[in-house]
Amino acid sequence: MVATLPDSVDAKNKFEDLSGVDITKYENPYDALIEASRQLTQFIVLIITYIQAQIQARYETHRVTRNAQQKAKIIAPDFEDLLIDPILKKLEDPSIEPGFMDPRNCLVFWARPPGHIRDLVGRAQQELRKVAPHLWLMPLQNLHLTALELCHSLTFPETEAIVSSLGSPAYTEMTDYTLTHRARLIKPTLSYDTAAIALSFLPAAGKEEDNFTYHHLRRDLFSIAKRAGVQVDSRYVVPSSHITIGRFLGQGDHDSIEKRKAWMEKIEEVNVWLEKEFWPSNGEDEEGFEWVVGMEKGLDFRQGTLWYGGGETIRLGKGF
């Protein structure tokens, strides 16, 4: 006589896949979820890549549009004068106002360009000097990219109070942030206006490591400062990543339309050279000449009269 087994509770319980995955399409049912996840991952990667490309495109649109606006202004027949920095002029020529000191104290987080970027700036500066011999050049050791400006044009005691409010834990995190959050900058180009000239870059896009862009770095630094209770007072938050390399001290190098056109031609000549030698070729991955923010040095938390690269370091982050 065959024994009758009692019904299993599980036999009466319906096990239905509620994940939304159709396993009937696969010989091995476990392949279904893996393939669905892979397809979702590919979709997410496409979205992230699109975000990277959009950030880069916005930065590029900003610098191309601004250069075009400034060129039109500089070579216009009715152009009046360049914007001469009176404070820099007094600092460079003490005879104008003996004993003058820059009263503007600032607090910033700077990214210091590594050696190969400083070398590139030096070459560009020498080319610019050929048509503007009186151009003030930023000393190479003073070059900086402002990742975040906390405040500007304050007294030293006022900046001291902000440092105290920010606190060591926050600014330590901020200065070391690029050690674990690396953003690539590529495609150097000279950008300019009627007051200064800079070497600008674009946030890289297209590679997995570009998920974290330079714009993300700026955002995160702002968030950390706000979380610490500091009111951030930046002069600009436009989509730009540039290092100022020169300023104007007088009108003489640009006091005719012929001189100003020669200035524009030299800038465009340098930009053609930069694109040819230091940009990725069409269709190539965006590799090669790059600046990974945090190379050699972490972020430099700087205080004082630092408009022209001076001031004092409160803390220098760890580089790689």
What's the rounded mean pLDDT across residues 190-210?
95
Place 286 in a pLDDT band, splitting at 50, 70 and 90: low
pLDDT of residue 51: 84
Place 293 in a pLDDT band, splitting at 50, 70 and 90: very high
Greater confidence, 289 or 160? 160
What's the rounded mean pLDDT across residues 51-57?
90
What's the rounded mean pLDDT across residues 148-166?
97
Q: Calculate what percentage of the chain has a pLDDT beyond 70.
A: 92
Phi-psi region of 136 (alpha: psi -120 to 50; beta: other; left: phi over 0): beta
pLDDT of residue 304: 97
pLDDT of residue 14: 63
Place 16 in a pLDDT band, splitting at 50, 70 and 90: low
Residue with tokens 């190479």: 140
DSSP 3-state assignment of 145? strand
Cβ atoms within 10 A of the Cβ of 139, count? 9
Please give the Cα distance from 262 to 268 (Å, whole number).
10
Report which secondary-structure segment, H or E, holds 129: helix 115-129
pLDDT of residue 29: 75
What's the rounded mean pLDDT across residues 263-277?
98
Report which secondary-structure segment, H or E, holds 198: strand 196-203
Which range among 12-21, 145-154, 211-220 shows the weakest confidence by mean pLDDT? 12-21
Which range among 24-28, 56-60, 139-143, 166-170 shows the weakest confidence by mean pLDDT? 24-28
What's the rounded mean pLDDT across residues 268-289?
83
Name residues whose C-beta falls within 8 Å of residue 299's C-beta, 6 or more positions apart in sequence: 109, 110, 111, 147, 174, 175, 176, 177, 178, 221, 316, 317
Q: State CA 280 to chain mean position distance.
A: 18
Report which secondary-structure segment, H or E, holds 201: strand 196-203
Two tokens at 245?
């390399």
Query: Which one-letter DSSP state was computed for residue 257?
Result: H
pLDDT of residue 285: 53
Greater confidence, 269 or 23? 269
Cβ atoms within 10 A of the Cβ of 307, count? 19
Place 184 in a pLDDT band, splitting at 50, 70 and 90: very high
Angle subtended at Cα 202 by Cα 201 and Cα 205, rounded to the nearest 5 degrees: 145
Domain spans, the chain: 31-316
Asked whether the predicted pLDDT for residue 152 surpasses 80, the reply is yes
Query: Residue 203 is which amino acid?
Result: P
pLDDT in tens, 214-254: 999 999 999 999 999 999 999 888 999 999 999 999 999 99
Answer yes or no: are the C-beta atoms of 145 and 111 closer than 8 Å: yes
Asked whether the predicted pLDDT for residue 7 surpasses 70, the reply is no
Cβ atoms within 10 A of the Cβ of 312, count? 10
Asked whether the predicted pLDDT for residue 10 surpasses 70, the reply is no
Instruction: Give CATH for domain 31-316.
Output: 3.90.1140.10
Residue 9 half-sphere exposure toward CB, CA atoms < 13 A: 0
* Mean per-residue pLDDT of the chain: 91
pLDDT in tens, 81-97: 999 999 999 999 999 99
Greater confidence, 190 or 289? 190
The DSSP annotation for 58-98 comes to: HHHHHHHHHHHHHHHHHTSTT-------HHHHHHH-TTSST
Asked whether the predicted pLDDT for residue 21 surpasses 80, the reply is no
